[in-house]
Amino acid sequence: MKIASIRLIARDVQGLVAFYERVTGVKAQWLAPVFAEIVTPGASLAIGSEETVALFEAGSAEAGANRTAIIEFQVDDIDSEFARLEDLTVVHPPKMLPWGNRTFQLRDPEGNLVSLYSPESEAAKARFAQR
């Protein structure tokens, strides 16, 4: 089994897609006017409008309601990424975490936490080289 995608439900699907296109540098593939995917080498980020929830089960997901997930992107140069994106809603600037990653976090337009990180310690680099 592999994680194929993470799906976000958005009040403003076009605004959220534009945010993630900027963060990832990847142009979204619009599969319907209410649904787009940003395909990266590791997984896809799917973004659907609130009306797509009813296709599964009405009320089963709610835009802007989740405060438990962090969407993470691994990058090569955390400082250049921070310089490129620091005009967005920054939660914290780059800092080192105890498990060897250097990271900064943003909030997307729907309130989701977004982390960009780079493995910095030898142990972190080794851990990600195995994937």
Taking only the tens of pLDDT, the chain with its 131 residues reads: 888 899 999 999 999 999 999 999 999 999 999 999 999 998 999 999 999 998 888 888 888 888 889 999 999 999 999 999 999 999 999 999 999 999 999 999 999 999 999 999 999 999 988 77
Domain coverage including residue 110: 66-131
- For residue 80, the one-letter residue type is S
Spatial neighbors of 44 by CB under 8 A, at least 6 apart, are 4, 5, 6, 37, 38
How many domains in the chain?
2
CATH code of the domain containing 3? 3.30.720.120
pTM: 0.92
**49 plus 70 within the same structural domain:** no
**43 plus 71 within the same structural domain:** no
**25 plus 53 within the same structural domain:** yes
CA distance 106 to 91: 5
**79 plus 118 within the same structural domain:** yes
CA distance between the termini of the chain: 14
